[in-house]
Amino acid sequence: MTRTGITAYRCGASEAALFRKMASHYGVTIHAIEAPLSEANIRLAAGDRCISVDHKAQITDVMLQALSHAGVRYISTRSIGYNHIDMEYAERVGITVGNVAYSPDSVADYTIMLMLMLLRNAKSTLSRADSHDYRLNDVRGKELRDMTVGVVGTGRIGTAVINRLQGFGCHILAYDKRAKTSADYVPLAALLERSDVVTLHTPLHEGTYHLLNHQRLGQMKPGAYVINTGRGPLLDTDTLIEALQHGSISGAALDVIEGEEGIFYTDHTDRPVDSKLLMLQEMSNVIITGHSAFYTDHALRDMVEHSISNCLQFEKEHEAWINQKEKIV
């Protein structure tokens, strides 16, 4: 039986080890590439119909065309979101794209952590403690049970966040196209007007780009907090900065941000970063983390395993299609 070959791009040591560990179990041959997919290394996938990529860099139409010419017919992105790939163009050049499901608990846990850090002024508290200033902050913290929390997007991650929030005794509002949980579903405008904390968990697409724009941020309850562990462009950064400066928003926790590409996942210790990102990081009521909410042992295993199984499913369907075509001929 011929083993399926999969070229996996941008594999760090941990991911490469997981791919190789699972390779024998699934009967596949893994070609783990440390570098991200680029025009220069597409040739390394020659002979493999399936490749696996991460979400950290844009896959351009030029790359998709080159992959198609190299014989690639399936891309498994090791992420839930696929806004880094032009799906329509991929289909046009004969490439199917599939995403993976991974533990929603990773992002849900992280979201609750950021929420609590915001409400308890953790950034300034930790900063003062590092300087051996142990005085109480003039600004007291808030308790979740006294809050109304609005969850925008109730897919697997949003639902996991709601399940955790229920244990804190807070009032939970939800917004989604379809009701998927027992939460109190309301229109988005009502959620923004009534919520003390708004957390974003909706996919990024044309209809959700700048979901929280100037108008909607203006609808938010005065003094509310906003959390984004979804995708950066869900939130209009310029308007957020303005709202934070004017005090209409009390704070923000952002694991993702517009323009993070090329900054997050790289060491900028001795290099300048985007001015908007720097402006946010200098605010004591803003927490920035580097798109790491998903990054747990469990989630990483899920990503690798599901990426392999997606490729195998594609190969199975491809083989069935070939056999059917031969029968017709």
Does 214 participate in catalysis according to the annotation? no
pLDDT at 326 over 80: no
Note whether 174 and 200 are within 8 A (CB): no
List 31, 216, 291, 306, catalytic entry: 291
pLDDT at 290 over 70: yes
CATH superfamily of 4-102+296-328: NAD(P)-binding Rossmann-like Domain (3.40.50.720)
Does 260 participate in catalysis according to the annotation? yes
What are the CA-CA distances from residue 29 to residues 95, 314, 326 (Å)? 20, 15, 27
What are the CA-CA distances from residue 70 to residues 45, 98, 218, 247, 315 (Å)? 7, 19, 50, 54, 17
Query: HEC string of 96-120?
Result: EEECCCCCHHHHHHHHHHHHHHHHC
Residue labelled with tokens 């724009």: 213
List 15, 258, 260, 315, catalytic entry: 260
Helix (H, G, I), strand (E, B) or coil at 308: helix
Which CATH entry fits the domain spanning 104-288: 3.30.1600.10, 3.60.21.10, 3.40.50.720, 2.60.40.10? Answer: 3.40.50.720
The tokens for 173 are: 């509002």
pLDDT at 104 over 70: yes
pLDDT digits (tens, 9 = 90+) for 292-307: 999 999 999 999 999 9
Helix (H, G, I), strand (E, B) or coil at 265: coil
Read off the pLDDT of each residue in 17-46 and give the average, rounded to a whole number.
94
253, β-bridge pairs: 227, 287
- Among 108-122, 126-140, 149-163, 300-314, the range scoring the smallest mean pLDDT is 126-140
Q: Mean pLDDT across the chain, nearest whole number?
A: 93
pLDDT at 321 over 70: no
Binning pLDDT at 50, 70 and 90, where does residue 24 land? Answer: confident
List 231, 258, 305, 315, catalytic entry: 231
Q: What percent of the chain has pLDDT over 70?
A: 96
Segments of the chain assigned to CATH 3.40.50.720: 4-102+296-328, 104-288
Residue 140's CB is within 10 A of a number of other CB atoms, namely: 8
Spatial separation of the C-alpha atoms in residues 110 and 107, rounded to whole Å: 5
pLDDT digits (tens, 9 = 90+) for 47-61: 999 999 998 878 999
Binning pLDDT at 50, 70 and 90, where does residue 83 land? Answer: confident
Helix (H, G, I), strand (E, B) or coil at 261: coil
The tokens for 143 are: 């308790």
The tokens for 194 are: 């009534």
151, β-bridge pairs: 174, 199
Phi, psi of 8 (to 5 degrees): -110, 115
Strand 184-185 to 148-152 pairing? unpaired
Predicted pLDDT of residue 101 = 87
- Burial (CB < 10 A; 0-12, 13-18, 19+), residue 324, is exposed
pLDDT digits (tens, 9 = 90+) for 146-175: 999 999 999 999 999 999 999 999 999 999
Predicted pLDDT of residue 1 = 40
